[in-house]
């Protein structure tokens, strides 16, 4: 169950845009998409400029039915009900998402850097969550910006922008969604996965953009790469669906020079030494999970598109439409390719070494006092 303590306002512009896209009325014009992204950016949790709506009652456990129409099909999406559960995550006023390790009046939480703290006044959190349908993971953040263009556009910024728009789109359709971060701060992979596990998410989507390398082959369709779990048919199916949607939505833009790696499509990336899935956000979760490299930051033509809100809305719509199809159809997806190589090192990013927690924006105290009787903090890397 998700309890929205202080939900932010969903602007009429965003709702109108989502409705038009969901109903297959064609690609939104650039001005509408620009305005939608501006509105979405303003919904960042804890943003002091956000006008907050009055609190609403917890989401119903009854199924939500939404009818969506595309250019070729009409389908009814039945959003699965979520079971009532204790609070297993908090979103603080500073935009930090804390997985709950012990549900109680004063819950024990894990910080982004895997320290344990007791939340003294959980009602002070912006949101309290018991379970969700989807966890969207905007990759990187803080001192780990990911790829950065020569003029300063960071992958972390792009990942967050796309994830936030997709969150708005999915919630409008009735899905319960949470992001792993609502600000530009570091969140190690272990904490991102723990959050998804704590909230019993049905699906985890880690959103990324490929790096700034320039010696990549080109083609006339998007070279989006979706990495799925080797041993999960449902992860593979979602990857195939997301690939289809990305080709449709991103390929609608006037661009005939797309970077495409040798494994473009829905694929796996093995560890060259062990054979298991290389990426931690794919290998570690127990629920179906994918890591999506939506576009290439080393291609000037794609960077030009990535700077536009219109393109970011299209990226988000790709994710939203794939989620809807994954929940409501048996579509198998397509675009599957076999990996041509494995990896041995990711460069050390995503771990706990040197991790410093951001301002949590909520009153906490250390565990282990005689009053609480809680054990020592978690082991860290």
> What average pLDDT does this structure show over 141-161?
95
What pLDDT shows up at residue 109? 95
What pLDDT shows up at residue 76? 60
Nearest to 347 by CA among 54, 63, 140, 81: 140
Q: How confident is the model at residue 59 (pLDDT cuts 50, 70, 90)?
A: very low
Please tell me the pTM assigned to this model: 0.80
Q: Among 58-67, 115-124, 346-355, name the one with the lowest average pLDDT.
A: 58-67
> What average pLDDT does this structure show over 114-128?
88
User: Residue 100: what are its φ and ψ, rounded to 5°?
Assistant: -95, 125
What pLDDT shows up at residue 92? 92
For 2-365, CATH gives: 3.40.630.40
Each domain of the chain, given as residue ranges in start order, spans 2-365
- In b/e form, how buried is each residue of 97-133, taking b as 16+ CB within 10 angstroms? bbbbbeeeebbbbbbbbbbbbbbeebeebbbbbbbbb
Asked whether the predicted pLDDT for residue 259 surpasses 80, the reply is: yes
Nearest to 362 by CA among 49, 107, 178: 107
> What average pLDDT does this structure show over 240-248?
98
Give percent of the chain with pLDDT exceeding 90.
60
Asked whether the predicted pLDDT for residue 358 surpasses 90, the reply is: yes
Query: How many angstroms separate the most distant Cα atoms in the chain?
Result: 66
Asked whether the predicted pLDDT for residue 145 surpasses 60, the reply is: yes
Asked whether the predicted pLDDT for residue 2 surpasses 70, the reply is: no
Give percent of the chain with pLDDT exceeding 70.
75
């Amino acid at each position: 169950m998700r309890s929205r303590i202080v939900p932010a306002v969903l602007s009429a512009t965003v709702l109108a845009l989502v409705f038009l896209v969901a109903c297959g009325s064609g690609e939104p014009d650039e001005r509408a998409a620009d305005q939608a992204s501006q509105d979405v950016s303003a919904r960042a949790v804890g943003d002091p400029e956000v006008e907050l709506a009055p609190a609403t009652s917890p989401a119903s456990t009854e199924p939500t039915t939404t009818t969506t129409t595309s250019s070729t099909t009409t389908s009814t999406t039945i959003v699965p009900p979520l079971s009532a559960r204790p609070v297993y995550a908090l979103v603080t006023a500073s935009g930090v998402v804390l997985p709950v390790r012990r549900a109680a009046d004063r819950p024990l939480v894990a910080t982004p850097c895997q320290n344990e703290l007791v939340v003294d006044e959980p009602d002070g959190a912006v949101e309290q969550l018991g379970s969700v349908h989807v966890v969207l993971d905007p990759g990187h953040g803080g001192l780990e910006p990911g790829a950065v263009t020569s003029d300063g556009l960071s992958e972390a910024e792009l990942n967050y922008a796309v994830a936030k728009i997709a969150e708005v789109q999915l919630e409008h359709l009735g899905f319960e969604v949470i992001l792993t971060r609502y600000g530009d701060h570091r969140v190690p992979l272990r904490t991102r996965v723990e959050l998804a596990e704590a909230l019993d998410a049905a699906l985890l989507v880690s959103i990324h953009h490929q790096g700034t390398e320039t010696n990549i082959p080109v083609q006339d369709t998007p070279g989006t790469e979706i990495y799925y779990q080797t041993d999960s048919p449902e992860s593979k199916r979602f990857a195939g669906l997301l690939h289809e949607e990305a080709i449709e939505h991103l390929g609608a833009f006037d661009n005939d020079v797309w970077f495409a790696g040798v494994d473009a499509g829905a694929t796996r990336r093995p560890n060259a030494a062990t054979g298991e899935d290389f990426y931690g956000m794919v290998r570690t979760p127990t629920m179906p999970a994918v890591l999506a490299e939506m576009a290439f930051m080393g291609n000037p033509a794609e960077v030009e598109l990535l700077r536009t809100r219109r393109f970011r809305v299209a990226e988000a719509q790709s994710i939203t439409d794939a989620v809807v199809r994954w929940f409501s159809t048996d579509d198998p997806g397509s675009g599957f390719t076999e990996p041509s190589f494995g990896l041995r090192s990711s460069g050390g990013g995503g771990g706990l070494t040197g991790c410093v927690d951001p301002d949590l924006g909520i009153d906490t105290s250390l565990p282990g006092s005689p009053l609480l009787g809680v054990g020592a903090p978690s082991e860290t890397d």
